[in-house]
Amino acid sequence: MNIDKNYRCRLYSFSLIMIFILSFLLNNIIFFNSKGLLNTANASVKTVYVKKKTKKAVKKVHQKVAYLTFDDGPSENTDKVLHILDKYKIKATFFVVGLNQNKAAVKRLKKIVKRGHSLGIHSLTHNYKQIYASLDAFKKDVYAIRDFVKKSTGIDAKIYRFPGGSSNGVSKTNMYTIINWLESAGFKYFDWNLGGTDAAWPAPSADKIYNDIAMYSKSNSDKIVLIHDSKGKENSVKALPRIINKLKKEGYKFDKITEDTKPVHHNVNKKYKKIK
């Protein structure tokens, strides 16, 4: 009898303890609801939102490229230009002519290639009247300078620059006709969008050559820079280190032109009609 009484007492005490534990759990346990949000099971239910960390999108900044190009060489000034480019560890592009086909010229063409620069063709004679007299005359000039470069260096140059640019107005033949033939023959032509004022005669001062380039160097677009390395262009050579430093300061990196480079093309002179 006493045993049953003691047993009932213990059972009653155990029941009270269990009720207390269950009450505690129901009022304090935190659990996830069906929406994945944290809830508390008490009288005033609160929803806790968990903030997810999101990665900020990284805005890509265009790396500006400056392509230094040198027209009308080779000459003694070409040697000076190559020395400066070596000093700054820059590769450039030389659009050459064939006015002088002596040993010195051949040696300089080979030096351009050996130093890792691009070799482009410009003209055999750089005589506008002869070059642009007719389509046949233009073809003859292109193939003549190409053959001279190939014979001298082994390079079958496919990058080309028009004497006076593709926007020249001196050609007796429709420039659209000439451009169409040039591209169909496998050549890719490159005009320029910075520089070129050193072509004037008498030659501008080194300061003017530098300033004409510096004032347009702040844009965010790639630049094909025209400088001349022919005889009589000593001021262009003098301005070159300042031009390089300015472009570097404006965030440009330097590269040479290849057949894969995106070209810059001038607008063809309005005197020529488009070919349909």
Between CA 98 and CA 73 the distance in angstroms is 8
Which residues 6+ apart lie within 8 Å of 151 measured at CB? none
Which residues 6+ apart lie within 8 Å of 185 measured at CB? 139, 142
Active site residues: 71, 228
Tokens of 197: 């004022």
Q: What is the largest CA-CA distance in the chain?
A: 135
257 class by beta-carbon count within 10 Å (0-12 exposed, 13-18 middle, 19+ buried) = buried
44: region left, alpha or beta (phi > 0 left; psi from -120 to 50 alpha): beta
